[in-house]
Structure formats: C-alpha cells, structure tokens
Amino acid sequence: MGIEVTGDTFEKEVVLSEVPVLVDFWGPQCGPCLALMPQVEELAGRYGSALKLAKVDASKNRRFCLKMKVLGLPTFLVYKDGQELNRIKGDNLTIDEIEAMVKAVTG
C-alpha cells in the first residue's frame, strides 16, 4: 500500500497532490522503519481517499534525502496544499504520534 516516490516523482505525487500526503522515508536496513510500516499502511488505509501515503526508500534516493534534509530514519513528513506542514523522526516514534500529525491536516 502507498506509492513509491523518488526525487523525480516527488513534486507530481506529493507537492501537487489534491489531498494531504504522509511521506514515509524508510530504509530496508532500518528496524524501526520496518516495524512501523504495517501500522502506517493500516493508518493510511483507514483514511481512504482523504490521505495519500508516499514512501521514499532512502537507500535508493540518498541525494534526494539530503536535499529534503532527511538525515535519519524513520522520518515522516506531512504535506498539504503543496507545503510541508510537519515532520517527525526518530527510532522511538509511535503510530499514535504519526496519527496525531495526520489528524491535524485531515481534520
């Protein structure tokens, strides 16, 4: 679930999106990322068409991560109307923290 996004597709899929977007920066070697992934996908599923989930594999998009100032994983960004409204990161993130960020932009 969710769409794979790269530096080349970020503007089209995230910045120009008509609905809020939760952007998940993750890596295949990141234990906390992999632990959160099923919960994040379930969360996005509950919001249906009111939220888009975009995933960025940091191991394949290193330059893009640097450009976005994503220096640690996991990192989650929320975009609405083309603007980054919030960002949280860290090994100890919980799904509740991520959901609170989503609720703030989806109403």
Two structure tokens written together for 91: 């090994």
Residue 65 annotated as catalytic: no
For residues 93 and 101, the answer to whether their CB atoms sit within 8 Å is: no
**Which one is catalytic: 14, 33, 58, 93?**
33
- Catalytic, out of 5, 14, 23, 30: 30
Per-residue pLDDT tens over the stretch 35-56: 999 999 999 999 999 999 999 9
Greatest CA separation for the chain: 34
- The model's pTM is 0.97
Question: Domains in the chain and their CATH numbers?
Answer: 3-106 (3.40.30.10)
pLDDT band at 107 (very low <50, low <70, confident <90, very high): confident
Whole-angstrom Cα distance, residue 8 to residue 4?
Answer: 11
